[in-house]
């Protein structure tokens, strides 16, 4: 498990793509090993993982759209996705 902090800069790994599936009416995460249907929170976090913005910036952007955003929860989501080799850090 990788230790992340608020200055960590996440991005989707090469070959991973977040897109919206019109049929399922939800976001899907496509990667070489399969497909993952992230919940709305994870999809919002993943949409901001551009390899430029750090965790603190992602939290700030999400707090403008949603109430009660906590960096600890973002770090938890990213850590779990990192363990599944969906995101990496620059």
Does residue 3 fall inside a structural domain? no
Query: How many structural domains comprise the chain?
Result: 1
Does the reported pTM lie above 0.85?
yes
Domain of residue 78, residue span: 10-84
pLDDT per residue over 29-72, tens digit each?
999 989 999 999 899 999 999 999 999 999 999 999 999 999 99
pLDDT per residue over 18-40, tens digit each?
999 999 899 999 999 899 999 99
Give me 25's structure tokens.
């009416």
Does residue 16 fall inside a structural domain? yes
Strand residue runs (E) in the chain: 10-12, 17-21, 26-31, 34-36, 87-89
The alpha carbon of 51 is separated from its chain's Cα centroid by a whole number of angstroms, namely 11
Cα pseudo-dihedral 64, 66, 70, 75, rounded to 10: -90
Q: For residue 77, what is the domain's CATH number?
A: 1.10.10.1150
Does residue 26 fall inside a structural domain? yes
Does residue 39 fall inside a structural domain? yes
Does residue 21 fall inside a structural domain? yes
């Amino acid at each position: 498990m990788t230790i992340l902090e608020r200055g960590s800069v996440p991005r989707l790994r090469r070959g991973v793509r977040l897109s919206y599936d019109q049929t399922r009416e939800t976001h899907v995460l496509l990667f070489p090993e399969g497909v993952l249907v992230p919940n709305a929170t994870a999809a919002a976090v993943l949409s901001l993982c551009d390899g430029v913005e750090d965790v603190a910036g992602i939290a700030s952007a999400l707090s403008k759209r949603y109430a009660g955003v906590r960096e600890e929860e973002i770090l938890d989501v990213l850590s779990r996705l990192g363990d599944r080799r969906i995101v990496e850090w620059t």
